[in-house]
Amino acid sequence: MSTNKVIHALYNDDDILMDAVKKVKGEHHHIEEVYTPFPVHGLDKALGLAPTRLAITAFLYGITGTSIATWLTWYTMIADWPQDIGGKPSFSWLENMPAFVPILFELTVFFAAHLMVITFYMRSRIWPFKEAENPDPRTTDDHFLMEIPVHNNEEKLTALLETTGAVEIKVVDKH
C-alpha cells in the first residue's frame, strides 16, 4: 500500500476558508478536498469543480414516474377494469385525465425523489456501513479542513498556508 503526504490546513471560519482556497488556487496548487460541517456557498466555484448533472437525472426520473403513472392509470382504469365512477365514462384516458392528475403528480415525485437518493448515494460512494473518510472529527462540528497533496513543496505550501489564517497545519501520510 502506497502512502502520499498531504497537508491538512484547519480553519475555524468559512469566510477565512474561502479566502484561503482562492489564495491557494491563485498560487496554482491543487486542492484535493475540503471538509466542512455545512455547505459553504461558492466553495464549488472557488475549487473549480464542474457543475453537477444530478438535475438532469432528476428530470429523467420524473419523466419515468409520469410515464409509469400514465400507463398505470390507463391499464387499471381503462383497459383492465373499466368502471363507471360518478357518471364519468371509462372509454378513454384523456376524458378521465383530470381525475388522474393526483396519481400522475405523486408517482412523478415518488420516482424522482427515491431514485435521486439512490443516485446520490451511488455517485458519492456512500454505502451502508461504510467507514467515514473524514480526516478530523472537528470538521463535523465547527472546523473546516483543506487537504492539499505535497509534491516536494512542503515548506512552500506550509508557508503559504500560514499566511491564510489556518489555525492548525499538519503534514500527514494519506493511505
Question: What would the pLDDT profile of 76-113 be if each residue is shown by its tens digit?
Answer: 988 888 777 777 667 788 888 888 899 999 999 999 99
**Structure confidence at residue 152 (pLDDT):** 84
**Structure confidence at residue 1 (pLDDT):** 41
> Residue 35 phi/psi, 5° resolution?
-105, 125
| Average pLDDT across the chain, whole number | 89
Confidence of residue 116 (pLDDT cuts 50, 70, 90): very high
Confidence of residue 15 (pLDDT cuts 50, 70, 90): very high
- 146: helix, strand or coil: strand
DSSP bridge partners of 171: 7
What is the sign, positive or negative, of the torsion defined by CA atoms of 19, 25, 27, 33? positive
In angstroms, rounded to a whole number, what is the distance separating the alpha carbons of residues 55 and 37? Answer: 24
What are 26-56's pLDDT values in tens digits?
999 999 999 999 999 999 999 998 888 888 9
In angstroms, rounded to a whole number, what is the distance separating the alpha carbons of residues 76 and 72? Answer: 6
First to last CA, the chain: 7
Which one has a higher pLDDT value, 70 or 97? 70
Q: What is the mean pLDDT of residues 112-136?
A: 89
- 148: helix, strand or coil: strand
- 134: helix, strand or coil: coil
pTM, whole model, 2 decimals? 0.71
Of 170, 175, 166, residue with least CA distance to 7: 170
Identity of the highest mean pLDDT range in 3-17, 53-67, 125-139: 53-67
